[in-house]
Amino acid sequence: MCDDTTSIVDQACKTITDTWSQGNSDLYVPFHAFHLHYAYSDEKIDSLNENTWGLGYGRSLYDNSGNWDGVYGMVFSDSNKEPQPIVGYARQWILGNKDGLHTGLGYTAFLTARARMMHYTPFPGVLPIASINYGKAALNATFVPGGDNNGNIIFLWGRFGF
C-alpha cells in the first residue's frame, strides 16, 4: 500500500498501516470537556454540554523505542449535545515502563465534523495530547484553543486495550 521510499508521506503511511495491521485493539471512551470559564460568559457556560459521553475504537502499537502510535475513530456528544465524529492518528513519546505506570506526551492529527460548524463538513486538525497510563489503560487529555465563547476546552477520554 505504501511505497518503500523515504519520503515523509510514505513513512507516515507505513506507520499508520503498521499500527492498524499489527497493533492491539483499544476501546475509546470520551467523557468530559471542561470549558475554561475565563473564556466564556456565564450564560454561555450554562448552555454548554460538558459530558461528552461517546464511544470509539482504535488500534495501537508501541514501537521499538517504547513510544506509542494509535489510529482511532470515535463519536462523542459535543458542547451543543450534537454527535461529533472524529478519526485520526496519534503519536506519544512515552516516559516509563509501558507495562506499568507511564506517561505520554505527543500530538494527534485528525478529521472531524460538527453539526453547527459547516453542517458536518469534515475539517482537519492537529492538537497536543498527554496521557497517564497503567498497562493497557490510559487517561488522555487534549487542549482545544479558541477565543471568546468558543474553544478553550480541556477534553478528556479513556483508552482501554483489549
Q: Which of 35, 60, 69, 102 is catalytic?
A: 35
In the chain, % helix, strand, coil (3-state, to 5) comes to 15, 55, 30
Please tell me what DSSP assigns to residue 117: B
Conformational region of residue 79, where left means phi above 0, alpha means psi within -120 to 50, and beta covers everything else: alpha
pLDDT at 42: 92
> Residue 13 sits in which domain range?
8-161
Q: What is the pLDDT of residues 96-125, one digit of tens each?
A: 988 899 999 999 999 999 998 889 999 999
In a domain, 3, yes or no: no
Catalytic residue among 26, 60, 78, 102: 78
Is 18 in the active site? Answer: no
Q: Which one of the listed residues 77, 79, 102, 131 is annotated catalytic?
A: 79
63: annotated active-site residue:
no
Task: Give the pLDDT of residue 118.
Answer: 85
**Centroid of chain to Cα 40:** 24
Series of mean pLDDT values for 10-residue runs along the chain (162 residues)? 77 91 97 96 94 98 95 97 98 94 98 93 98 97 94 98 96
CATH number of the domain enclosing 122: 2.40.160.20
Provide the number of structural domains found in the chain.
1
Report the candidate in 66, 70, 61 with the shortest Cα–Cα distance to residue 23: 61
What pLDDT shows up at residue 12?
86
The pLDDT of residue 98 is 86
Single pTM value for the model: 0.92
Q: Tell me, yes or no, whether 1 lies in a domain.
A: no
32 is catalytic: no
Phi, psi values for residue 126, rounded to 5°: -135, 130
